[in-house]
Amino acid sequence: MVFARSNKVLGLALATAVALLSGCAAHAPASKSFDEAAVQPYRLDSGDRLRVTVFEQPGLSNTYTVDQAGYVSFPLVGQVTARGQTLPALEGTIASRLKQGYLRDPDVSIEIDRYRPVFVMGEVGRPGQYSYVPGMTAQNAVAIAGGFTSRGNQQDVDVTRKINGRVITGRTGVTAAVLAGDTIYVRERLF
């Protein structure tokens, strides 16, 4: 009778441990492609605001925002696909469209005026949406969001990122670089 009861307690303790540990493994460490995305040329997406300059064309030079569908609405040429493009690629696309009957030899230059935001959630002081700054780390983002709560895991975070059109989540250290549009989730520590 005592043996059966201790087996039940042991089984319950084992099941609880497995449940707790499986929660820890919800997200695998960041993959190689996840880390490589941080060193690739910047890819535009919804929410980026661009400063477009067309040399000697003040009527075309302005700031434009990449809309939710991933397009920039540009005078004369209409909708231009921006999502997934690098700045040089978008410059070339706009220049070639302007060359088709509007300007003889357009010189287009594009800079990021404002990056899309990062989102910080979980065990932080003020979860929410924050401005991205190039070179930002997960720790910087957490600091902007009010720092870790007393229950926050300060060793690593889960970062969700869009890579090649796919949304991927990986576990990274707090010193890892984050990208514009990333979502940083600070988990609750177990002990």
Task: Give the model confidence (pLDDT) of 55-103 as tens digits.
Answer: 999 999 999 999 999 999 999 999 999 999 999 999 999 999 999 988 9
The pLDDT confidence band at residue 27, using thresholds 50, 70 and 90, is low
Given 114, 131, 161, the domain boundary residue is 114
**Owning domain of residue 69:** 49-114
Asked if residue 121 and residue 104 are part of one domain, the reply reads no
Residue 81 within any structural domain of the chain: yes
Tell me the pLDDT tens digit for each residue of 112-156: 999 999 999 999 999 999 999 999 999 999 999 999 999 999 999
Residue 12 within any structural domain of the chain: no
Beta-strand pair 183-186/118-122: parallel
Given 114, 145, 161, the domain boundary residue is 114
54 burial type by CB count under 10 A (0-12 exposed, 13-18 middle, 19+ buried): buried
Number of folded domains that form the chain:
2
The pLDDT confidence band at residue 24, using thresholds 50, 70 and 90, is very low
The pLDDT score that the predictor gives to residue 12 is 43
Over 60: is that where the pLDDT of 8 sits? no
* Contacting residues for 129 by C-beta, under 8 A, at least 6 apart: 117, 118, 119
Do residues 72 and 79 lie in contact, with contact meaning Cβ atoms separated by under 8 Å? yes
CB 168: neighbour CB atoms within 10 A? 16
Asked if residue 33 and residue 81 are part of one domain, the reply reads no
